[in-house]
Chain A
Amino acid sequence: MNFVRGIQAALFSCAALGALTAVASAEDAANWGSFPGYTLKVKLVGGTQYEKLYTRIPEWEKATGAKVEIVSSKNHFELDREIKQDIASGTITWCVGSNHTSFAPQYGDLYVDLKTLIPQATLDEFVPGTLAASMVDGRLVQLPRVTDVSNLYYLKDLYENADNKAKYKEKFGTELAPPTTYDELKQQVIFFASPPNLYGTAFAGKDEGMTGRFMEIVRANGGDMFDENWNPIFNSQAGIDALQWFIDIYNAKAVPAGTVNYTWDDIGQAFAAGTLAVDLDWPGFAAFYNDPAKSKVAGKVGFALSPLGTAGKRGGWSGSHSFSVTEACDNKEAAASLVNFLTDYDSAMMEARAGNLPTRTKAFTDVVEEFKKSDTPYMAEMFAVWGQSLADARTPPLVPQWIEVSNVIWPELQAAIVGQKTAKEALDTAAKKATQIMEDAGVLQ
């Protein structure tokens, strides 16, 4: 018996050891391969927020003996235009490109399916929803580096103010607390607004920002943009209610009238100036809002999960910045190795420390711990709240026509918000144009 037990123990410890070494090799995937003398051409999204990560590239160069040549470094939208130009002129001479989930479907078969190049064990370490959103037609065309989803920022002192609390209770019969539904949010932003010094909130009123926020509420109300056959259905009741939500807060002057012309930077500046009570916004603003040199509301910002719609769901409009490898690449192993390296655990932690949402499950819990330890509970709280909302994150429809459809929707939404059309008229017009686009593209028969 003892003998058998001994063998069992031995076997067990062997297994454990084996498992351990397996973990170790996955962990020091420090084996990034060896590509001496090879020059890898890459196109990376530029801008101070994203470039910090690239300081890690020399580390990869040292490990592999390869050289990285950055052939383009531009902002998100310009990179998109440049990649389209490259496709048009047939000059795909580079291997790795920055990508984004909203853009990826447009590029057709420009990029390889990374499932063939990256071990499944590595892919399992990503947040499942984020990874799933990176697929186009079942192909993993990109590996996400940071992800974005919106939650609420609010001014704590407004919610803690005794006077506000009393008035709110008197008026609505409930305690004043950060909103959990869009109806409650509407009620509160109207309650807080006292223009011109304080508005309830502001929303992105043009470009994809407008369409995205609308889509978020449509989905929270149980609707969607398209049905399974790609018929536009955003002019359903869920859509009309969603648009009415914007119209209502606009007419109640709970938002600055200029909001229909705002983009993210305007909203960020307005909240940082202390002129908005609540702000449904992206995680990248958290650090900005809490920096006394940049923001007046530093130290006063609270977080809450994004509100629920009439269907009791969250819209969770999300997108991820990512890296892709081109089909035309002459050394896909080296390219995949770099992509893998730039999204590995250390990279994820680097992104997280800078205030971006990482894409690896482990980085989420670890960075919260780290922030707690380093005495920045503000950022720890941010990651805790945003971590919860990832489960509801959904990308816009992953079709090549999305941006084009978005461009016919937002001007109509604006028209309804400023009172030129009714919600139904505007959405019907937009749906008609969207139908034409889908028909022209041959997606819709």
Chain B
Amino acid sequence: MERSWQRWLIRFAVFIVMAIICIPGLWIVMTAFRDNVEVMARPPVWIPERWTLDNFRAILGMSESQQGIPVARYFLNSVIISVTSTVLAVLIGMMGGYAFARYRFKGKNVAFLWLMLSRTVPGISLSLPVFMIWSRVGLIDTDFGVILVYLALNIPFTIWLIDGFFRQIPLSLSEAAQVDGCTRWQAFWKIEFPLAKSGIASAGIFAFLTSWNEFALASQLTRTTASKTLPVGLMDFTAQFTVDWTGMCAMAVIIIVPALILTFIVQKHLIAGLTFGGVKG
């Protein structure tokens, strides 16, 4: 009896906490389905009285009063940039992580620390010099230019996480495989990689979320529909004097949904990956 009472108490507490976490986000989602007149109303309108898809219609260019926004194009750019940079960051992370976990070499600790410290530089101090270099070599407003920057953002973290994960796997396993005639390369793919899959997945989801939501650097390096990503596209809703908040929220929904789905899918790996990856190095 006491058990079930406790369980309900925990569920109730979880509910309250989740509500607090969700309300600011859900408010954005609800705003996406409102008329502007309800948004800042006094007295407040908590639950939309009329759910409307007008905001979505407007940004997709299906309303007459407003110029549409190339959402499909932004979406495509975002997918290309986030997916490519995530995959590459994970690959490079695997290479780096393997190097740190399996080899001894001079300056290893220093190299590791410098790698991590590269991540502490604020984007603002990088933005101008990166811009100047990129514009000289023609990387401005290309997907590749953005991907390269995101790689630099994500690599330190993926290396770190995957490094810890490889260390967790006993060296004897891969040695045994090599004794059985596998090359080191084969042993890696047959033994170490499958065991490290969770760690790699969780490194991946963090890298993906970072790239998917990044704004400050992307807004400097992209200029047109050729490479503008969804978060940069959010600024299309601001003019000199006005902010189309309902439109922005509709766009936000478009940004959030894929990220949410992906997070849900990799959820199982996430916990396992973080557990071994980070700590037990």
Contact = CB atoms under 8 A, between A and B. Distances in A.
Interface of A: 43, 46-52, 55, 70-76, 78, 81-82, 85-86, 88-89, 91, 100, 148, 197, 264-265, 268-270, 272-275, 282, 284-285, 288, 292-296, 321
B37 A48 contact: no
B4 interface: no
Contacts of B236: 46-48, 75
B239 A49 contact: yes
Contacts of B67: 48, 51-52, 55
Given A55-B67, A85-B220, 13 more contacts: A43-B223, A47-B239, A71-B223, A72-B224, A73-B224, A74-B223, A85-B128, A265-B245, A268-B241, A273-B41, A274-B42, A285-B241, A293-B35
Contacts of B140: 91
Interface in B226-262: 235-245, 247
Contact of A50 (B224, B235, B239, B243): B239
A245 to B, nearest CB: 22
B188 interface: no
Nearest to B238: A75
Contacts of B224: 70-73
Contact of B219 (A73, A78, A296): A78
Contacts of B242: 49, 264-265, 268, 284-285, 288
A252 B153 CA distance: 50
A35 B276 CA distance: 65
Contacts of B36: 272, 293-295
Interface string B198-224: 000000000000000000000110011
Interface stretch (B83-91, B110-118, B131-139): B131-139
A275 B140 CA distance: 45
Interface of B: 35-37, 39-42, 54, 66-67, 69, 128, 131-132, 135-136, 140-141, 219-220, 223-225, 235-245, 247
B37 A82 contact: no
Contacts of B223: 43, 71-74, 82
A81 B37 CA distance: 33
A89 B40 contact: no
A395 B224 CA distance: 30
A417 B37 CA distance: 31
A76 B238 CA distance: 9
A43 B132 CA distance: 18
Contacts of B237: 47-48
A52 B141 CA distance: 23
A284 B37 contact: no
A371 B214 CA distance: 44
A89 B136 contact: yes
A81 to B, nearest CB: 8
5 contacts: A48-B69, A50-B239, A73-B225, A85-B128, A293-B36
Contacts of A272: 36-37, 40
A75 B37 contact: no
Contacts of B40: 269-270, 272-273
Contacts of A76: 239-240
B241 A47 contact: no
Nearest to A204: B241
Contact of B239 (A43, A55, A75, A292): A75
A292 to B, nearest CB: 7
B136 A71 contact: no
Contact of B241 (A48, A70, A91, A265): A265
A82 B66 CA distance: 26
Contacts of B128: 85, 88
Contacts of A81: 220
A184 to B, nearest CB: 25
Nearest to B133: A89
Nearest to A46: B236
A282 B239 CA distance: 13
Contacts of B238: 47, 75, 265
Given A48-B236, A48-B239, A82-B223, A71 B42 contact: no
A32 to B, nearest CB: 23
A270 B140 CA distance: 39
B41 A71 contact: no
B47 to A, nearest CB: 18
Contacts of A91: 135-136, 140
A48 to B, nearest CB: 5
B55 to A, nearest CB: 10
